[in-house]
């Protein structure tokens, strides 16, 4: 089931750590969560148990990735994952079999996140297959001296040309600058580790200004409470 296009930049947190999700959710900074097998392994916990907890903490989409490589098994795994909670988005790879699975699961009314996207043509196929989200991997493109933001811009243009409802979920984000650039390029969503989202608030001039204000306030000898 496709959602309406984002009216604002959404933040998904890329983690399987419940405490991190709770902290960000309390600030209203979590619109969804993305997980993958690597993050589950890092948590050291049972996959389905972690998913249930995450879905209880955030009402937004929670991406849970299949591990099968063939379409029929992906579909079976996707259906199993969708039983965990109604806000599960089934994550499938951008392969031919992944696209087949995406089509079937989407037609069943499930959210699908097509991941490991590295070209505009791949994103176009995902949109045609009915994906709720497509996840271009910014950082990994940067690693091989390609421009991940150019990919975001190309996908944005193509989707707008044909009014596709698939949302662009900028992934493999490693720095606050990646989030700024993704927003400027027109990504609907940025998914990032907790430390990157926290770093968005950091600026040396903010720290310096706060230090000066506190010094002047202390000199007044006053208290507010």
Which residues are tagged catalytic?
91
115, 110, 116: which is closest to 130 by C-alpha? Answer: 110
Radius of gyration of the chain (CA): 19
User: The dihedral of CA 30, 179, 195, 43: what is its sign?
Assistant: positive
């Amino acid at each position: 089931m496709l959602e309406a296009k984002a009216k604002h930049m959404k933040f998904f947190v890329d983690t399987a750590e419940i405490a991190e999700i709770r902290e960000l959710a309390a600030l209203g900074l979590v619109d969804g969560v993305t997980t993958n097998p690597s993050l589950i392994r890092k948590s050291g916990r049972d996959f389905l148990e972690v998913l249930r907890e995450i879905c209880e903490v955030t009402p937004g989409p929670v991406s849970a990735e299949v591990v099968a490589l063939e379409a029929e098994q992906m579909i079976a795994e996707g259906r199993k994952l969708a039983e965990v909670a109604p806000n599960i988005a089934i994550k499938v790879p951008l392969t031919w079999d992944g696209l087949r699975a995406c089509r079937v699961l989407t037609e069943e009314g499930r959210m699908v996140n097509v991941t490991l996207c590295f070209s505009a043509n791949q994103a176009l196929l995902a949109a045609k297959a009915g994906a709720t989200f497509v996840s271009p991997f910014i950082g990994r493109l940067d690693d091989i001296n390609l421009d991940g933001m150019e990919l975001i811009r190309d996908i944005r243009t193509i989707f707008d040309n044909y009014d596709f409802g698939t949302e662009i979920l900028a992934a493999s984000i490693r720095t606050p600058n990646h989030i700024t650039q993704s927003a400027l390029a027109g990504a609907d969503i940025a998914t990032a580790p907790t430390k990157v989202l926290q770093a968005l608030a950091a600026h040396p001039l903010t720290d310096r200004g706060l230090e000066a204000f506190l010094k002047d306030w202390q000199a007044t000898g006053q208290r507010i409470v």
